[in-house]
Amino acid sequence: MNRRAGNIFRRTSRQQAAGRLTDVTDEIEHARGLDRTIRVLSLGVKRVLRPGPVKDALHGVPLGHPAHPPLTDVPMGCWMSAAVLDLLPGTRRASEALVAAGLAGAIPTTLTGIADWSALHRGQQRVGLVHAAGMTTATLLYTASFAARYRGRDDAGRALGFAGLTALLAGSYLGGHLAFRQAAGASHADQVAHLVTLGWHDLCKADELPDGWPVHRTLGYISLFVMRTGDDVHVLADRCSHLAGPLHQGRIVSDEDADLCVVCPWHGSTFRVRDGSVVHGPATGRQPAFESRVTENGTLQVRPLG
């Protein structure tokens, strides 16, 4: 009985600890006191980081997924490895090299993180700001750790390294919350393959569609962006893959190849209407697209592309 009671107590304690962590992150999500700082920083980032190839690269458009998350493995892996080596004898030079490598890796990690953060919803930006503060603290502590090690002050270097590791773990927890609970960086487009059965589906009468202007239609649970240009009808999932913005409310533009594109009204992600491919970020994933055809009785039918 005592053993069973002890197990229940430990399980309850773990649940309470997890609940307290969740309470903290929930409070950060709703911390409106951060909003003024966020507005100033966001405006500064947008002034410096103009739409174009550099911004797209920082978001990860060429990769097809966000660049920031995999880059975080470099500083985190190096610094955590350095912490392990700091506990072992005869590893001074290896630890110093790992701290330096982590600092080098922190540069592109920070730049990609700033780019992604500037194009998030406000609740995500609040968590992201505190996450960035933790990671910046870790980077500064590891910079001081490297300087101390370089000057031969190994004990101080190790102490600063362990302090940096503490900040790193706290910041990483918030990064995980941002990625997995708030879904920053995940595709927010409807999962067409799971929601639409195979084959053709009646959507609407083709002659009710305006020429050259996008409209909103639904297919079961899925919202669709539908645009007729002459005899062609282009159909995409309407929820932007970046953060679910309504594409049918976006601007229609042409890219450098004269292909028609839609610009998401929320954060400016740009997709080709013929196939949903990404032209400009912050979205990195292709927008789900549909084939279309018009039957003899004038009904527009669609089916998922590919």
The answer to whether residues 128 and 263 belong to one domain is no
Is 50 exceeded by the pLDDT of residue 209?
yes
The rounded distance, in Å, linking the Cα atoms of 188 and 264 is 13
218 sits in which H/E element: strand 215-219
Residue 306 is predicted with a pLDDT of 67
Quote the tokens at residue 153: 């002050």
Helix (H, G, I), strand (E, B) or coil at 272: strand
Q: Give dist(CA 279, CA 277) in Å, integer.
A: 6
Task: Dump the DSSP string for 83-102.
Answer: HHHHTSTT-HHHHHHHHHHH
Whether residue 17 lies inside any domain: the answer is no
Residue 145 pLDDT greater than 70, yes or no? yes
Cis peptide leading into 265, omega within 30 of 0?
no
Cα–Cα distances in angstroms (integers) from residue 60 to residues 55, 68, 111, 121, 284, in the given order: 9, 8, 12, 19, 6
Q: What is the pTM of this model?
A: 0.85
DSSP reduced 3-state for 243: coil
Structural domain includes residue 1: no
> What pLDDT does residue 23 have?
86
- Fill in the DSSP letter of residue 49: S
- Residue 198 CB neighbours (<10 A): 8
What's the pLDDT at 19?
60
> Is it the case that residue 147 has pLDDT exceeding 70?
yes
Instruction: Based on the fold, state whether residues 240 and 220 are members of the same structural domain.
Output: yes
Give the chain's domain count: 2
- Per the domain annotation, does 56 fall within a domain? yes
- The position carrying tokens 């080709």 is 272
**Which of 130, 157, 181 is the endpoint of a domain?**
181
User: Could you tell me the pLDDT band of residue 12, with boundaries at 50, 70 and 90?
Assistant: low
pLDDT tens track for 151-190: 999 999 999 999 999 999 999 999 999 999 999 989 888 7
Q: Where are the alpha helices (DSSP H) in 30-121?
A: 35-48, 53-59, 68-71, 73-86, 92-117
Q: What is the pLDDT of residues 65-81, one digit of tens each?
A: 999 999 999 999 999 99
175 lies in the same domain as 36: yes
Domain check: are 36 and 123 in the same one?
yes
Tens digit of each residue's pLDDT (9 = 90 or more) over 31-72: 999 999 999 999 999 999 998 999 999 999 999 999 999 999
* H/E stretch holding 237: strand 232-237
On whether both 67 and 170 belong to a single domain, the answer is yes
pLDDT averaged over every residue in the chain = 91
DSSP-assigned letters across all residues of 160-195: HHHHHHHHHHHHHHHHHIIIIIS-TTS--S--HHHH
The first and second tokens of residue 291, run together, are 């084939």
Kindly tell me if the per-residue pLDDT of 2 is higher than 60: no
Q: Are residues 111 and 172 in the same domain?
A: yes
The stretch 207-225 carries a mean pLDDT of 92
The reply to whether 153 falls in a domain is yes
